[in-house]
Amino acid sequence: MSSPNSTKGLHVITWGCQMNVYDSARMTDVLAPLGYRPVESPDAADMVILNTCHIRDRAAEKVFSELGRLRLVKRERADQGRDTVIAVAGCVAQAEGEEITRRAPYVDIVLGPQTYHRLPEMVARAARAGGKVIETDFPAEQKFDFLPEAITAQAVPGASAAAPGLTAFLTVQEGCDKFCSFCVVPYTRGAESSRPVASVLAEARHLVARGAREITLLGQNVNAYHGTGPDGSDWSLARLAHALAEIDGLWRIRYTTSHPRDMDDDLIAAHRDLPQLMPFLHLPVQSGSDRMLSAMNRGHTADAYRRLVDRLRAARPDLALSSDFIVGHPGETEADFEATLQLVRDIGFAQAFSFKYSPRPGTPAAGAPLRVAEFVADQRLQALQALLREQQAAFNADCVGRRAEVLFTGPGRHPGQIAGRTPWLQPIHVEGGESLIGARALVDIRAAATNSVSGALIGGARIAPSQTSEVDCLQPALEDHRA
């Protein structure tokens, strides 16, 4: 075995949401003092971490098939006298820890999402004992108090190697107490908790000092954020956003994922008052039927969602909305599904994710009667996705003629092009030099496709921070999508 100070290879495979991307970067950081450095391939890795997601179908099977491949790698490396530590992290680890060590006895470490700060100790224990380490408790201490400063840039879709860390994630809240009927999160990520304000602000300043210009605040229920402020009082997400907006050099703030129940007046007002808060909101509704929303234990009605969107749009007329939908939840009738389509038509989404219900063991819906037949759920999913695609294309088409500030994150698909994101999170391509990567500039949006837009730089000039308020991106266009 190599000495504790020599450099070792670390290969992390990440599934699932942005929170897992963030966690993978933090696990990389926590292992750096032990000499672990990221490597591209498991063959070169002294440690492989599978950071897993359990939210929908076949997650565990994907993990087991990857583990099957890693078993061969581990065996080959052992033949060459090299050890390979295999760790399974994330929500599958949390939910199926025992099953993992039973089916894949060559796994050395199984760790739940709340124990990443203990990883170095687990690695040492696994090496010493040559045995299994399973850590899937919810420890009393907060892992964020024990994690080092963020060093590893997260691989963000849309960001390129040319500008690593330009757009960064920052976890501010974890866990969930809402217990939606279908969801494993309250069981795998545990009770809802928020990071203290000082620690969030310190990490944000650190990210900005290292080049971040856009920060996306993460949490399973991010708008339920209630971190302890420096004065001992509870801060809301709105208050946190105001404090972040004061950081020099931080141009853009986003947050995800929000729950309709936690969308308070201050946060709505922040969308009106803070130019740094981008006009894009991911606000899952799941269904447009009150009967289903009640069966799902969502705690809001379809009309409450409509009214909330009205208030948000009154505060920020160009707000682009995104959502999550589930079709085929137990008990869903054709009328319930039609109510979902109607809600979609009423709101007009800029983009959305839609899923076929997948039973998760241990959740209330998994044992519910009146399961929807697969082929019915398939048909509903197709119909919903067709409508959502239409709306996304319509939203992008509506942006043609708008002038928007774009943050350029990397080269475009073709030579001479650069790519970035609009305030509404659309990928955008323009003709331009790579010197603009990492900068923001005003762009006239000229053409639209289903998933992206393209445009032309206005005078090719970069925008100085003081010019932000001149950006003309407030054309209220979303109303046009209402049926």
| Selected binder of ligand SF4 within 20, 24, 114, 220 (CB under 6 A) | 220
Burial (CB count <10 Å: 0-12, 13-18, 19+), residue 466? exposed
Helix axes 334-347, 302-315, angle to 10 degrees: 10
User: Smallest distance, Å, CB 357 to ligand 5AD?
Assistant: 5
The dihedrals phi and psi of 211, each to the nearest 5 degrees, come to 110, 0
The residue within the footprint of ligand SF4, chosen from 2, 37, 179, 361 (CB under 6 A), is 179
Within 291-350, strands assigned E span: 320-327
Q: How far is the CB of 368 from ligand SF4 (least distance, A)?
A: 15
Residue 326, interface with ligand 5AD (CB under 6 A)? yes
Q: What residues contact 233, with CB distance under 8 A and at least 6 apart?
A: none
CA atoms within 13 A on the CB side of 91: 27
Binding to ligand 5AD by residue 324, rule CB under 6 A? yes
Q: Is 185 in the site for ligand SF4 (CB under 6 A)?
A: yes
Is residue 92 within 8 A of residue 63, CB to CB? The reply is yes
Is residue 109 part of the contact set for ligand 5AD (CB under 6 A)?
no
DSSP tag of 404: E
326 binds, among ligand 5AD, ligand SF4, none (CB under 5 to 8 A by kind): ligand 5AD
Q: Say if strands 403-411 and 453-462 run parallel, antiparallel, or are unpaired.
A: unpaired
In the structure encoding, which two tokens stand for residue 374, read together? 């697969």
> 463 to each of 114, 158, 470, how far by Cα in Å?
41, 20, 10
286 binding ligand 5AD? (CB under 6 A): yes
User: Residue 17 interacts with ligand SF4 (CB under 6 A)?
Assistant: no
Number of residues that bind ligand 5AD (CB under 6 A): 12
User: One symbol per residue from 351 to 390: x for binding ligand 5AD (CB under 6 A), - otherwise; what is it?
Assistant: ----x-xx-x------------------------------
Nearer to ligand 5AD (CB atom), residue 56 or residue 389:
56
**Nearer of residues 46 and 174 to ligand SF4, judged by Cβ:** 174
Minimum separation from the CB atom of position 318 to ligand 5AD (A): 24
Contacts to ligand 5AD from residues 179-218, by CB under 6 A: 182-183
CA distances from 136 to 47, 48, 121 (A): 19, 18, 14
Distance CA 192, CA 405 (A): 35
Nearer to ligand SF4, 42 or 330 (CB): 330
Closest approach of Cβ 58 to ligand SF4, in Å? 19
For the CB of residue 210, give the shortest distance to ligand SF4 in the complex, in Å. 30
Q: How far is the CB of 329 from ligand 5AD (least distance, A)?
A: 8
Q: Which is nearer to ligand SF4, 127 or 368 (CB)?
A: 368
How many helices (H) does the chain have, and how many strands (E)?
12, 21
56, 178, 205, 462: residue in contact with ligand SF4 (rule CB under 6 A): 178
Site for ligand SF4 in 231-270 (CB under 6 A): 259
Strands, E, within 211-369: which ranges? 214-218, 227-228, 234-235, 252-256, 280-282, 320-327, 351-356
Asked if 439 touches ligand 5AD (CB under 6 A), the answer is no
250, two tokens: 């931080």
* From ligand SF4, ligand 5AD, none, interface partner of 220 (C-beta below 5 to 8 A by class): ligand SF4
Is residue 186 near ligand SF4 by the rule CB under 6 A? yes
Which of ligand SF4, ligand 5AD, none has residue 358 at its interface (CB below 5 to 8 Å by kind)?
ligand 5AD
Q: In what order do the strands lie in the sheet with 85-90?
A: 36-38, 8-14, 47-52, 85-90, 109-111, 133-135
Q: Judge whether 275 and 239 are in contact, CB under 8 Å.
A: no
The interface partner of residue 186, options being ligand SF4, ligand 5AD, none and the CB cut-off 5 to 8 Å by kind, is ligand SF4
Cis geometry, peptide bond prior to residue 256 (ω within 30 degrees of 0) = no
178 contacts ligand 5AD (rule: CB under 6 A):
no
Q: Which two tokens stand for residue 183?
A: 């969801």
Where on the chain is the footprint of ligand 5AD (CB under 6 A)? Answer: 55-56, 182-183, 284, 286, 324, 326, 355, 357-358, 360
Where on the chain is the footprint of ligand SF4 (CB under 6 A)? Answer: 176, 178-180, 183, 185-186, 220-221, 259
